[in-house]
Structure 1
């Protein structure tokens, strides 16, 4: 039997590649970092822009043609014809949690290739980002920064998270962790998930559980709204003019899901009018966020460049998921985090 060939298509440390090789001595790992863009920061999996030579491009295509397993991203130029360029590919372990919408758009859901995600890997850093943002608002970091810039000392009064209500739209693994952190801070926490029948709210770390159709009552009572639902036909444009108007005056919107979930122009108007107290966004409708976007100019808008999930532990955790799944794959057992090609998560 020929060895299973694994193409690794992102920047990863050699010691972690050794862990992959250690799963089974017959494995063949294909990895050439010269085919990737130069890393711009720790755990920059994609690397910066790169112009490969014709020889490098040919080498990449040769490795894609040989691969039984892809650990990493499908190179962008080849995504729309995945079966052509990866003729022997059986399984792709993605470093991303939210690949469903892209998989459908690129036609991957119509193939026999199995796709697994990094679902759950980003729960801690994303929950910490939400906690940071909420604390910055209740402790009025923005006033402190302004006063520091003025070198002005004047006592003031803030508030506490335990007096606030947190609404989590999407109680998957990340959403449940955001809810848990909110509960730890003494907040009232409400949330929504796709299937609610027979689900005990406490089992998903909330006081009250809503279905997706019950978005309005959640928005009405929340001081902080965290978006962390998967991208789908149902969630694209989920938060628009009407939904923002329903939110409490002074409430804060935190988006760690996808930029497509929010009508950005409506968000800008809600901030300009003062109806919203602020926002924290890790994603935008167009990325990178254009320099001319009004969002840059709001003092009470926190902007993260789609980096809230990226931590120095990311590749370590991703390799643990992959190695576990690799053992399952070799044994013929079900894989973790298998993408449902109908539900798209």
Structure 2
């Protein structure tokens, strides 16, 4: 049994607390309480993941830092601070696999909503206006999925099933890939952007990917294309996106994540034509909490028994390396 497991929560505690408490000496901490309860803990379950609290509460003495940190999320950018990354004795795991299919479904829904202009239909309904108009078809359209991890692959499979031509973009080019058909690397990325009707961002936020969609990338996109971001807000230069949307180079965007969340009310993105905004909910489902705790409980059992943990993050890269499809 771990000496002590700290569960970081906000609002509601995770499900299955009775089972967690039977397996480990468990204490619960809010973000304010974490600096007092984290030092000396053996493990940390971060039920809250988008927060500076873990970095701020991390013990200065490495001997007092937890040896295992589990993030109840797919993204781990909040955990990639030097003290955690550079300590070889700290293992970081995540909830890889939980969000793949829900996010893929959400992306397909966003593409259909943009192509069929569902927001416009809803506005006309609210005004009781009968306004027939044609809509775009997604069959045969090209989607470039930027990010070839499990979420990107789930997106690619679903978009292909819907009749779209799908390509991937990642660190390593591949001429043949089972999910993407082919994957573009940095050299052929500009030509891939120029051909894509939809560019879907599903990459993790790391030092290498922060700000990767800048003015030059947006300028390389096909005129009239649409950008969808279900990765992290920090992937995109938001001001450059606003400028390209305002200039009419892009037909629109569907954004689920932002550099600052909640998105400030003063952001021009709220009112821009062709832009859909959602509050970081692409992967959320009614069964999300149960799926997240199932992954954690499996790893907690493995931790107690001394077996290898699932979903171990490569802290230098910022994501779990899939040796079947290494990025």
TM-score range, shorter chain: 0.7 to 0.9
Moved more, 162-171 or 102-111: 102-111
Indicate the SS of the match to 1:30. strand
Provide the residue aligned with 2:19 in structure 1: 19
Provide the residue aligned with 2:323 in structure 1: none
Correspondence 1:1-345 to 2 at 5 A: 4-10=3-9, 16-21=16-21, 24=23, 27-31=24-28, 36=30, 57=33, 61=35, 63-72=37-46, 73=48, 76-77=52-53, 79-80=55-56, 82-84=58-60, 87=64, 89-99=66-76, 101-111=77-87, 112-196=89-173, 200-202=176-178, 205-345=179-319
Moved more, 218-227 or 157-166: 157-166
Normalised by the length of structure 1, the TM-score is 0.83
Structure 2 Cα separation of the partners of residues 269 and 76 of structure 1: 30
Indicate the SS of the match to 1:107. helix
Normalised by the length of structure 2, the TM-score is 0.87
Indicate the SS of the match to 1:79. helix
Indicate the SS of the match to 2:296. helix
Deviation at 1:213, TM superposition (A): 3.8
Select the structure of larger CA radius of gyration.
1
Deviation at 1:7, TM superposition (A): 1.5
- Checking the alignment, whether the CA contact within 8 Å between 2:54 and 2:79 is kept in structure 1 is no
Deviation at 1:182, TM superposition (A): 0.1
- Checking the alignment, whether the CA contact within 8 Å between 2:172 and 2:183 is kept in structure 1 is no
Indicate the SS of the match to 2:92. strand
- Checking the alignment, whether the CA contact within 8 Å between 2:200 and 2:228 is kept in structure 1 is yes
Question: Structure 1 residues 285, 76: CA separation in 2 closer, same or farther (over 3 Å shift)?
Answer: closer
Unaligned runs of 5+ in 2: 320-327
- Checking the alignment, whether the CA contact within 8 Å between 2:95 and 2:292 is kept in structure 1 is yes
- Checking the alignment, whether the CA contact within 8 Å between 2:73 and 2:94 is kept in structure 1 is yes
Structure 2 Cα separation of the partners of residues 108 and 323 of structure 1: 22
Residue by residue, what CA displacement relative to the aligned partner does 1:75-106 show, whole Å, maximum 9, x if unpaired?
A: 7445245134881511011112221x433335
Unaligned runs of 5+ in 1: 37-45, 47-51
Indicate the SS of the match to 2:9. coil
RMSD (Å) for aligned C-alpha atoms: 2.4
Runs (4+) off by over 6 Å: none
Deviation at 1:332, TM superposition (A): 2.0
Residue by residue, what CA displacement relative to the aligned partner does 1:124-172 show, whole Å, maximum 9, x if unpaired?
A: 2221221111011111213313322332223322232212111100010
**May I ask how many residue pairs the two structures share in their alignment?**
314
Indicate the SS of the match to 1:216. helix
Structure 1 Cα separation of the partners of residues 257 and 302 of structure 2: 33
Deviation at 1:176, TM superposition (A): 0.5
Deviation at 1:195, TM superposition (A): 3.4
Residue by residue, what CA displacement relative to the aligned partner does 1:174-229 show, whole Å, maximum 9, x if unpaired?
A: 101111110110110000232345x8411xx1122212443212211111111111
Moved more, 6-15 or 229-238: 6-15
- Checking the alignment, whether the CA contact within 8 Å between 2:41 and 2:66 is kept in structure 1 is yes
Residue by residue, what CA displacement relative to the aligned partner does 1:42-87 show, whole Å, maximum 9, x if unpaired?
A: xxxx8xxxxx6xxxx4xx5553235211111587445245134881
- Checking the alignment, whether the CA contact within 8 Å between 1:138 and 1:160 is kept in structure 2 is yes
